[in-house]
Structure formats: structure tokens, C-alpha cells
Amino acid sequence: MKNKYSLVAILLLTALLLASCHNTPTLSQNSKPQNTESSITQRPATESPAESPSKTPSQAPHDPFTSIRESGEDWITYGLAAYESGKAPQNLKDFFSAPANMTYLTLFDHFFIFDKEQTVPVAEAFFKFVVDKYGAEAVLDIEKRIEYKNEFLKSLGLSTTYTQTPEAEALLASMNFSSSDRYQYIMSFGNVTYYFEDFSAGSPSQYHGFLYFNTTGLYELIDYLKEHGLDEKLDVDREFHFYVTFDGSGYSQTKYPSGNMYINDHSDALHEAVHAMGIRTADHIWLSEGLCDYFGKSLGFNYQIAASYIQILTMAKQGYFDKQANGGNRTAIFYKRLYEEYTDAGGKIDSLDTFDLVLYTNTIAKIELDTGTYTTLGQTHQAINNKECTAIGKELSYHQAASLVLYLANTHGIEKALEAYHTQDVEATFAKGYEELKSDWLAYLEAIGE
């Protein structure tokens, strides 16, 4: 489980862009074009041997689209149907002059459910452009798709560009899309699947950053665990099922019997994935939640998290919170102090490469303890489970638990922290009990910035 951290601005992956061609004039609004020869184009009947003894089956008309008919991508299917029917594409210059419409150039399958009326014409136009300029098989070239999309925009007389990275384009293009009665948008990447009931909290493009950074981050996290021999008692090869609710409840959680994860914040997915691998809430709640934040956030596998922290600190630097802080707003006061103490301790906010997630976590923990304004692990556990929490460390916040685990990883090694979790015998592992370890950690926090 993970408490949603208030006012954290999440930077999402920049809007994805456009692609090609449309369905045949006879298609119903809800039907998908069928790329069979009989339904798309009329082929001449084969002459009988008596009529033309010299003609053989090998002389049948060449089909330039053989390699792409079974592509499996909706935008190619719609584009091919329109192209072979001779349908003229719409002029989309005005449409793409609006920056918000650039997202339609992504042309991922779920767009055709989300907004078929706008997506199909883009598919038709982009398909025709690629085939006419680069050839039929070019529509399958994932590596050059961004280049083709930018050339397509230029062909419309626009100077705007498709701002997507090749890595993100390749990963998102590889996703398998499906839907069910309840979950209209189901996206899968190998053993990782995301379930969306709808996109009421945003548009598809706003979730692409969530999909990309959490998926790649999870794979990087699993590789890290394996490479460092930390996966012995963790189920890193399991199926990961993320149910993306964003329902405003404020809590993300993992259902241990099923292993399903219910995500209510963009930054919680990897934290919950560590729970699903086997770090369950136990007698030492500070250790289980601290380990999940350590691997899921503090090691920086999801760059979106660090980017959101940088945004908050940059806003504080630019005076965004000044008026609110002067008016007594405690959150604004907290963010201003966070920026001051983080940078005073040597922290940088100029780039993701130089941002110090460890220092950021420790600074928040220190300020929380000083001000006494934070939600505890026990309070969150009680709110989710509707019963009192009696576990050790329930008085700490998530940031404090993560900071304590960071301290133990630095002084004893993360292997020891995992051992203590698995045995639930903290004193035997560290030769110190929880209270003594907590005292050592508090002294360590006090020294930060001095």
C-alpha cells in the first residue's frame, strides 16, 4: 500500500503524434475493415487453360501489400482499406495546427476506441503518405516511424515536430491492446499488463508516460535485483497486473491473495510491484514499506518520479509558493523549506542525472519529523484495511521508513535489510533492535546539511 503524496506534480511523457489512412466507404462506424481480396479490390478472374494455355498461377497480379496485411496494427488496417479503395485522405493541416491534436499521430490501437472519428482520418492520411513516398513495407519500419511522422507534418506545410523518443515509440508500439466489458483499455507489455476502465482523468497520451516509465522502470528494477543477487526470495518472474484507478481515494494497494495492484498515483506502481514480488506488510511495517520505497522510488528506476520532484523544487525556487506560504498554507511552507534545505545540503535540480533522490528523501523525512505534519504508516494501513495497525514502526511516514532503510543500506548493506525483513528478526540481523536503529538513524538525519 502507498499513500498518495499531496500536490506532487507528475511530468508525463510528451504528447504522442499521428499516423495514416481510413476505412472503406461501406464500413460501419464500429466495424474494423477486413483486408481480404474479395472485400477490398476486384481481381480479374483467372483464365482457364483452354483460353490461355501460356498463363500460369505464377503470373497472378502482384500484391504489393502482402507483407503488411496481417500487421496487427489498427492504423495500418484502416489505412490500407482506404488506400486500396482509392479514398482521398482529408487535408489535416488545420487539424495538426492545434498542438493538442499532435497526440493523434501516435495511432496506437486504443486510440481507435477512444476517438475513432478523429483517429481514422489520421491513419488514412499518414498511411498514404508513407506508402507513396517510401513504399508499402515502410509502414512496418518502427525505427523510422518518428522520421516519417515529421516528414508527414512537413508535407502539410507545418513546422511543428513529433516530439517522441525512439525508445518510447518502440515500446508503446509493441504493446498488445485489448478490452473487456469493464476495462475498455487493457495494455500489455510482455508480463506487465495495465487495466483502465476509462481515461476520465485525462487523455490516452497523458497515460503513455505512465505506461512507458513504469514498464521500463520495472524491467530495470528486476534486472537490478537479479544482477545483485537480491531476487532469491522475490517472485521477479511473475505476471504484473496494474489496475489504474486514479479514483481520488488517495491510496494505492496490492491485493496479496491475487497479487493485483491498484494504482492511484503515477509514482506508486513500482512500490506496489515490490509488494507483489513478495514484500508484504508484516510485523515490521517500517521495513516492508521502506524496502518498497527503496527499490520502487529511491533507486530512481522511474525517471518520472525524480522529474516530478525536480518540478516541485523548481517551482519553489521561482517563488511559485511564496504567496501561499505568506498566507499560512502549510504545504507551500513545506515546499519552500524543502527546496532551501535540499539545496543547502548540496542537492541539485538542474537535471535528472544530478538530482539526488537519497538526499531528497532524507530531507523530507527530516522536515516531517521537525514539523510533525505527516501521515503515518499506521494511519494509512488503518484507512485501507479498516482496522487498527499494531505493527512496529507504524509511527513513521513512508518517507521516513524509506530514509531509515536507506540508512541501513548505507551502513549495513541492503542484503541485511532484506534478511531482516524475511526473518522478521531485526535484532538478530543487526545486533540492535528497532528502537536503537531508529535512534542511530535520527542522529544521522540531524547531521545532514551541517
Does some domain include residue 129? yes
What's the CA gap between 256 and 239, in Å, rounded? 13
Nearest to 398 by CA among 249, 269, 297, 264: 297
Contact 187, 175 (CB under 8 A): yes
Does some domain include residue 142? yes
Residue identified by cell 490516452 is 204
Does some domain include residue 86? yes
User: What's the total number of domains in the chain?
Assistant: 1
**Helix/strand/coil for 290:** helix
Bridge-based pairing of strands 185-189 and 240-244 is unpaired
Return the exposure string of 203-234: e unless at least 16 CB atoms fall within 10 Å of the residue's CB, then b.
ebbbbbbbbbbbbbbbbbbbeebeeeeebeeb
Does some domain include residue 107? yes
- In the Cβ-directed half-sphere of 30, how many Cα atoms lie within 13 Å? 0
What's the CA gap between 149 and 138, in Å, rounded? 12
Does some domain include residue 271? no
Contact 87, 136 (CB under 8 A): no
Inter-axis angle of helices 398-411 and 434-447, to 10 degrees? 90
Cell numbers at 62, concatenated: 502482384
Residue 315: other Cβ atoms inside 10 A: 17
Residue 195: other Cβ atoms inside 10 A: 21
pLDDT means per 10 residues, the chain with 450 residues, are: 38 32 31 37 32 49 86 94 96 94 93 94 98 95 94 96 90 94 96 94 87 97 98 96 86 92 93 97 94 96 94 97 96 96 96 95 96 94 92 97 97 97 96 97 88
| Contacts of residue 313, Cβ cutoff 8 Å, sequence gap at least 6 | 335, 338, 339, 342, 343, 349
Bridge-based pairing of strands 176-178 and 2-3 is unpaired
Q: Which residues pair with 176 in a beta bridge?
A: 188
- Domain ranges, residue 77: 17-41+62-163
Amino acid identity at 312: I
Confidence (pLDDT) at 266: 87
Does some domain include residue 208? no
Confidence (pLDDT) at 201: 81
What's the CA gap between 423 and 328, in Å, rounded? 46
Does some domain include residue 337? no
What's the CA gap between 161 and 99, in Å, rounded? 10
Does some domain include residue 10? no
Contact 222, 182 (CB under 8 A): no
Distances (CA, A) of 369 to 41, 366, 397, 399: 72, 5, 9, 10
| Contacts of residue 100, Cβ cutoff 8 Å, sequence gap at least 6 | 15
Phi, psi of 281 (to 5 degrees): -60, 125
Confidence (pLDDT) at 27: 29
Inter-axis angle of helices 269-277 and 285-293, to 10 degrees? 120
